[in-house]
Amino acid sequence: MKSAYDYVKTARSNDRQTGLDYITHIFKGFIELHGDRRFADDPSVVGGLAWLDDTPFTVIAIERGRDTKSRIKRNFGMAHPEGYRKALRLMRQAEKFNRPVVCFVDTCGAYPGVGAEERGQGQAIAENIMEMTALRVPILSILVGEGGSGGALALAVANEVWMLENATYSVIAPESCANILWRDPEKAPEAAESLRLTAQDNYELGVVERIISEKGGDAQRLFASLAADILSWYMKMKAYTPEELAEMRYRRFRQLGVPKAP
């Protein structure tokens, strides 16, 4: 049987499709939009406009790169505050033009760097999370690889959250968890087991709505089925008013981790 840590290794594997692949293969006519209008353009977060069927979407992805060169350019999918601010700018734009938002999440976490901290990594994530709870258009987030903590949540406060069968979603990297608890990063497999970070765990805990089959690694079939799923999700969301969409999203997170009465 595949252990939790095997899932972590698969999610991080270099053979997997990355964020941009999902955008370009599922949507048509992608036009990338750059910059946070505050300080910089963060290549770890890619966003823009695209068509699905005959509906314009705002699409956002964390991109970690496919080869050494692009991985360095994309900072291995670890976003700076500018990446989160760009994403929020595009989501507000989506709200203005009444477009649905789809986010593809694949990050080991927000970048822990000096500049990132000085420019308010925590504040950027906090603002995204807070504003996303009340956005007046439908949001769908799909965890396609690693879902690392706050850096992933900053793009995953959505009406529905889906997970690919080999994706992970965790409050902390298992290595860091093992280091803190047992001062031994080698115990990461035990930590991974305890953290309940697989798609199945997240589904059982009510954190995600759906586990997406990866079609045995056939990427083209995966893209085709995701395109159909996203479209039917959007058709379902179209029935709600902007207020209902925001309220449903609030309720979705409101009921997570409500302690049972003693």
Partner 1 sequence: MALEAFFKKPKNELEKGGRLPKIKPETAQYELCEKCPDCGSEIPLSALWENMHQCRCGHCFRMNARERIRLLADKDTFTELYGDMQSADILNFPGYKNKLESTRTSARELEAVICGEARIGGYPCALFVMDPYFMMGSMGTVVGEKITLLFEYAIDRRLPVLGCTVSGGARMQEGILSLMQMAKTSGAVKKHSDAGLLYIALLTDPTTGGVTASFAMQGDIILAEPGATIGFAGQRLVEQTTRKKLPAGFQKAETVLEHGFLDMIVPRPEQKRVITALLALHRPEGENHEVGV
* Smallest distance from partner 1 to CB 257, Å: 3
Taking CB under 8 A as the criterion, which residues in 83-112 touch partner 1? 110-112
Q: Binding residue for partner 1 (CB under 8 A) from 63, 146, 160, 201?
A: 201
Number of residues that bind partner 1 (CB under 8 A): 53
Nearer to partner 1, 21 or 36 (CB): 36
* Smallest distance from partner 1 to CB 79, Å: 12
What CA–CA distance (Å, rounded) separates 18 from 145? 8
* Smallest distance from partner 1 to CB 200, Å: 12
Query: Is there binding between residue 262 and partner 1 (CB under 8 A)?
Result: yes
What CA–CA distance (Å, rounded) separates 202 from 142? 13
Q: Binding residue for partner 1 (CB under 8 A) from 190, 212, 214, 223?
A: 190
Query: Is there binding between residue 241 and partner 1 (CB under 8 A)?
Result: no
Nearer to partner 1, 135 or 212 (CB): 135
202: left (phi over 0), alpha (psi -120 to 50) or beta: alpha
What CA–CA distance (Å, rounded) separates 78 from 114? 13
Query: Is there binding between residue 227 and partner 1 (CB under 8 A)?
Result: no
| Residue in the block written with tokens 């823009």 | 48
Taking CB under 8 A as the criterion, which residues in 107-146 touch partner 1? 110-114, 116-123, 125-127, 129-131, 133-134
In degrees, to the nearest 5, what angle opens at C-alpha 24 toward C-alphas 32 and 77? 70
* Smallest distance from partner 1 to CB 183, Å: 12
Query: Is there binding between residue 40 and partner 1 (CB under 8 A)?
Result: no
Q: Write the secondary structure of 106-164 as one string of H (helix), E (strand) and C (coil).
A: EECCCCCCHHHHHCCHHHHHHHHHHHHHCCCCCEEEEEEEEEEHHHHHCCCCCCEEEEE
What CA–CA distance (Å, rounded) separates 208 from 210? 6
Query: Is there binding between residue 183 and partner 1 (CB under 8 A)?
Result: no
Contacts of 109 (CB under 8 A, 6+ apart): 78, 148, 149, 150, 151, 152, 173
Nearer to partner 1, 199 or 237 (CB): 199
DSSP designation for 187: G
Nearer to partner 1, 171 or 235 (CB): 171
Taking CB under 8 A as the criterion, which residues in 151-170 touch partner 1? 153-154, 157, 169-170
Query: Is there binding between residue 207 and partner 1 (CB under 8 A)?
Result: yes
Residue 64: strand, helix, or coil: coil
Answer whether 205's CB lies under 8 Å from 197's CB: no
Note the residues at the interface with partner 1 (CB under 8 A): 110-114, 116-123, 125-127, 129-131, 133-134, 149-150, 153-154, 157, 169-172, 176-177, 180-181, 190, 194-197, 201-202, 205, 207, 249-250, 253-254, 256-260, 262
